[in-house]
A and B are shown apart, each in its own frame.
Chain A
Amino acid sequence: MKAHCSWIALVVTITAASSAVSQTIRVSCPKFFSDRHQAIACTEALFSQDHYHFTLASLPPSNGFGPGLELTEKLQGTTGKPAREWFLDLSVLGAATTNGSWFTGGDLVWLPPLPYKTDSDVDGGLLLGKLKSTSRASLHLSGWHRSVNTLYDYGNGSATPNARYTYAQDDTTFDAAMRMPLTRWLTATGESEVRSTTLPAVSRSDAVSKNLPPSVIPGIASQSLFVHTAVGGDTLFTARAGQPFQELPKQDDPHFQSLLLFTLSNNFAFHWHDPTDGSPYSFRQFIYDGHEQMELHQVLRNFFAADRHPVVAYMCEGNKRRDECQFGQFDVKMRLVLSSERSGNQVPFYLQPTLGGTDIDGRVTLRGWDNYRFRAPDLSLFQFEYGIPVHDPLGVFVFYDSGTVGNSASVLAVSRMRQDAGFGATVRIKGQVIIQTYYAYGASHGGNWNYNFSRVF
């Protein structure tokens, strides 16, 4: 059974409403035992206070979770003539987990003082010269180290036997990423990263190094310092479709007006990975991530007796004109990774994408399969999920995943796709999922239960 617990999301959710004025440890915690209100406030403060707070952090799946400490600082000011605003968010996080893995890192988000002006044509619109956008240009700098004790490898490709081998991985990276909104729907992205990966020796009998030949584990013998650069674009379209609202005379049955909300997010990037020591692991990648979302809403157009229609009782949580009833949300996710190695080069196995459970970066893949189950330089993945609230805050959902990996794009055929399907339930508080559980069944593999403390999809 998998146990990927995203505690951070839970804490953020619980404290979201109080972010207007944060609780403070100094004020609330000394009175923890004398006042139940203060006890709750203290707990909130411990995990949300400005400047520093505790966190329960998770590392890649199969490495448990544990306590951490996060330091945050927000700065803003003006510069230039005429003066322009700049913003800076800093955070530093350190955490250790139950299996001895640990993470430490920091990031900085800087909104440089560009002469943005308000574009009153749209909500939140911005003008930068002739550029119309809804977000500001930003620079993200980050540096982190993670030491992960338990990762799994099953060999290369989508047909590997279900024999699991273990390895450990230490990563240190320094990364600079830039986002430059060009239009309201297109943002240019760029990234430059220096990444050092080492694979500490694992003494267990199921260690990768003891069980798989280096020919299927490129990079197992030695690891290089990589320079990684990327350029790409993020697109975001939102749209709504519905009829104009028209008052109707009262009726006995609910009269619905369709309202569909679409959010289409598609990102693509070209990546270059080059080892600095000339070792034969230079490769390029094209990565596409798509997330298309459609919310199925119906607006009640009449007022009628509350308990006369079961659909309204469950979907609307109300029976009033203009009440918006939620008939569910349909999500489609797609991911495509195409790698191209220089002649005589390979993609190190620890930089290859994986399918199965959750990957090393926390991305959900084939939910009916074990974590990191399939690994190869190329990957395709399609995921479909439909969720519906049944009685606030409870909701249910069903899903289907299909994907495969291979050593070239030509083998990413539908016939090679691994598949799974499942169903689950969520508890939603403050608009966000705080508990999710699901059962996933992998075709020709079997099923497993999974639970999380945030929406994992």
Chain B
Amino acid sequence: MPSPFKHIVVLMMENRSFDHMLGYLKTADYPIEGLNGDETNPSADGGPAIRVSPNARSINDLNPDPAHEFPDINVQIFGNADGTDTGQAKMQGFVQNYATDSNNAVQGRNIMKCFHAGSLPVLSTLATQYAVCDHWFSSVPASTIPNRLFAHAASSGDSLTQDAVLAPATATTIFEIIDDPNNDATYRIYWSGATILMANIYLARHQNKFFDYSRFQQDCKDDLLPEYTFVEPVYDDDLNHGLLANSQHPDFPVDAGEAMIAEVYKAVRSSPSWNDTLLLIVYDEHGGIFDHVTPPTLTRDPQFPDIPPTKDFGFRFDRLGVRVPAVFVTPRIKPGTILHQQFDHCSIVATVRKLFCIDQSPFNWREAQAATFDDIANLPDDQIRTDTVVLPAAVPSDGTIPLLRDAVLSQADRQTADSALQTSGVLPVLHAVAEESVTANAPPVVAPQIRKPTDLVMLMAQAMQYSIQVLGLKTAKSVQQIYSAQDAMDYLRDAANQMGQGGGA
């Protein structure tokens, strides 16, 4: 059956892992390959294992930027820089690597912090209202530039590092294939002052395909979207042009990226071609942040062109990078769709080629093996959705952590806590659970009235709120109204008083 998609729009954000962004969406009714809440990594200081926690903040968690070059990713996956697989437990080196990178064992714990639906409302809403792919892997266990090159050329040349200069310049990209003059398809690249694509020699000779992102919304309304559109975020603050980074690269604010995702969604939604358009929101690589799924290895198919091994590490491109979030948006998909199929950035190249190119010969064996997503529509033409998914506002970078108790505790912890609630020892159990689940901030140096609450007290407050609700009690404020450390302490005191009064009733 021919694909219904006549337009593909790809928005590629920066450096976040799947679990970090979407892992906590997992429930019994939404069985993505996400988090149970009890996933851990060994501590860097010999202490208790560090558990994932749904308390990631828009900014200030990941400074310095977690390491994510090839040897670092090997440590994160295999526990050694060479990437040697001895049958050891995988995906256990994130905390250790970030602690080493930041030279701070406490900071290393932040790598396990994750968002949840309440703290990442835009992407979460799109994921649950359209389709989430829970097995989209970055194409190589490497950093931004190699992975972005894979998204355009199914190869990063012979390089795995950010210092590659020749590879972006000389790569043959899918844009060049689309440009076949006998091909009735074209493309646009929307950018805000920086894109690795402008370093490409071929594209530098076709600068009329680059458009300032400020035009995107109106171009969508005017039905100017071509067959293939690639959208670049703002990579760094450019105050002289009134631009603030929204790529979500740590430690730029995640909420700014959420706003951009919403903007792109609304723009595509406004296009007259909306019914024939597939929007893909995907991240280039995991940025050194925890994910629990071990990246798969690949076996080269010799009937397709090879990619030369990298000069620096001798890597044969036979292993994918860490999983990243990927969300498909189209009115041809049912709400709540979960795609378990394995994709990587080569899938973009392969799909665009399949749909829009005369030349159907893959660049190399990686593209040949990549699954395409031209067939993900699961609604027929006469059932195309006409509803408008309203996106909530992004949670601002204000340090508050709107936690949901269900998201804080694993199922096992929940049972423990629930049984504890049946007895008189409620608080100590919840405290213990909370302490295992959080990463402490640095010691405060400012007054609690103006300081952000620590993650620990926020988790305690969440636990208390749950107990308060179970017991049918009320506090003067809700946890969502906690802005400062003092607020949090006031809340805990109030909640404890309420429990002391009501609990004994």
Measured CB to CB, the nearest residue on chain A to B199 is: A17
Q: Any chain A CB within 8 A of the CB of B302? A: no
Docked-complex contact B217 and A135, CB < 8 angstroms = no
Q: Chain A at the B interface: mostly helix, strand, loop or mixed?
A: mixed
Binds A, one of B160-168, B319-327, B359-367, B493-501: B160-168
User: Cβ of A324 < 8 Å from any Cβ of B?
Assistant: yes
The interface residues of chain B, by DSSP majority, are classed as: loop
> Which residues of chain B have C-beta atoms less than 8 A from A305's C-beta?
181
In the bound complex, do residue B181 and residue A306 qualify as a contact, i.e. CB atoms below 8 Å apart? Answer: yes
- The CB with the most chain B CB atoms within 10 A, among A120, A242, A428, is that of A120
A82 touches B396 (CB 8 A): yes
Contacts A16-B193, A83-B452; A322 near B186 (Cβ below 8 A): yes
Q: How far is the CB of B204 from chain A (nearest CB, A)?
A: 6
Contacting residues, chain A, for B215 (C-beta < 8 A): 261
Chain B hits for A27, CB < 8 A:
163
**CB closest residue in chain B, given A84:** B398
- The yes or no answer to A342 lying at the interface (CB within 8 A) is no
Q: Does A74 contact B (CB under 8 A)?
A: yes
Return the contact of A299 from the options B59, B224, B393, B450 (Cβ within 8 A).
B224
Nearest chain A CB to B310 CB, angstrom units = 12
Of residues 29 through 55 on chain A, the ones whose CB sits less than 8 Å from some CB of chain B are: 36-38, 40-41, 44
Q: Is A206 an interface residue (CB 8 A)?
A: no
Q: Are A21 and B394 in contact (CB under 8 A)?
A: no
Q: Which of B258-266, B332-340, B457-465 contacts A (4 or more CB under 8 A)?
A: B258-266
Contact residues in A for B249 (Cβ distance below 8 Å): 20
Q: Do the beta carbons of A118 and B393 come within 8 Å of each other?
A: yes
Q: Which of B208, B262, B263 contacts A325 (CB 8 A)?
A: B208
CB distance from B276 to the nearest CB of A (A): 12
Q: Rank and list the top 9 A-B pairs by shortest CB-CB distance, nearest first.
A: A306-B181, A320-B186, A83-B398, A135-B242, A430-B198, A245-B223, A20-B235, A17-B199, A40-B165
Taking CB atoms, residues of chain A closer than 8 Å to B236 are: 19-20, 74
Q: Could you name 29 residue pairs across A and B whose Cβ atoms are closer than 8 Å?
A: A16-B198, A17-B194, A17-B195, A17-B196, A18-B196, A19-B194, A19-B235, A20-B144, A20-B196, A21-B144, A28-B163, A78-B60, A81-B484, A82-B483, A87-B237, A87-B239, A89-B239, A109-B239, A111-B239, A118-B259, A123-B213, A123-B267, A323-B226, A324-B224, A325-B208, A392-B205, A392-B206, A429-B198, A430-B199
A210–B267 CA distance with the chains assembled, in angstroms: 66
Closest Cβ of chain A to B207, distance in Å, is 5
Q: Which residues from 401 to 457 on chain A have a C-beta closer than 8 Å to any C-beta of chain B?
A: 428-431
Counting chain A residues whose Cβ lies within 8 A of the other chain, the interface size class is: 35 or more
Interface string of B98-127 (1 = CB under 8 A from A): 000000000000000000000000000000
Nearest-Cβ distance from residue A122 to partner chain B, whole angstroms: 7
Interface residues on chain B, number (Cβ under 8 Å): 74
CA distance in complex: A392, B182 (Å): 20
Mask for B380-391, Cβ within 8 A of A = 1, else 0? 000000000000
Q: Assess whether B222 is in contact with A245, with CB atoms less than 8 Å apart.
A: yes
Q: A37-B163, A78-B398, A123-B216 are in contact. Are A321 and B206 (CB under 8 A)?
A: no
A134 to B243, CA, bound (A): 10
Complex CA–CA separation, A24 to B214 (angstroms): 31
The verdict on A21 contacting B145 (CB below 8 Å), with A81-B483, A82-B398, A83-B398 known, is yes
Residues of A within 8 A of B197 (CB): 17
What's the minimum C-beta distance from A13 to chain B, rounded to whole angstroms?
9
Cβ-based interface call for A397 (8 A)? no
Q: Which residue of B lies closest to A89 (CB)?
A: B239
Determine the residue in chain A with the shortest Cβ distance to B236: A19
B69 to chain A, nearest CB (A): 10
Is B248 at the interface (CB under 8 A from chain A)? no
Q: A20-B144, A21-B143, A83-B398 are in contact. Are A318 and B179 (CB under 8 A)?
A: yes
Specify which of B144, B185, B196 is in contact with A320 (CB 8 Å cutoff): B185
Q: Is A310 an interface residue (CB 8 A)?
A: no
CA gap between A18 and B149 in the complex, in Å = 13
Q: What's the Cα separation between A287 and B349 when bound, in Å?
A: 53
Residue in chain B with minimal CB distance to A118: B259
Restricting to A295-323, which residues have a CB under 8 Å from any CB of B?
299, 303, 305-307, 316-323
Q: Are B165 and A20 in contact (CB under 8 A)?
A: no
Question: Closest Cβ of chain B: how far from A25's Cβ, in Å?
Answer: 11
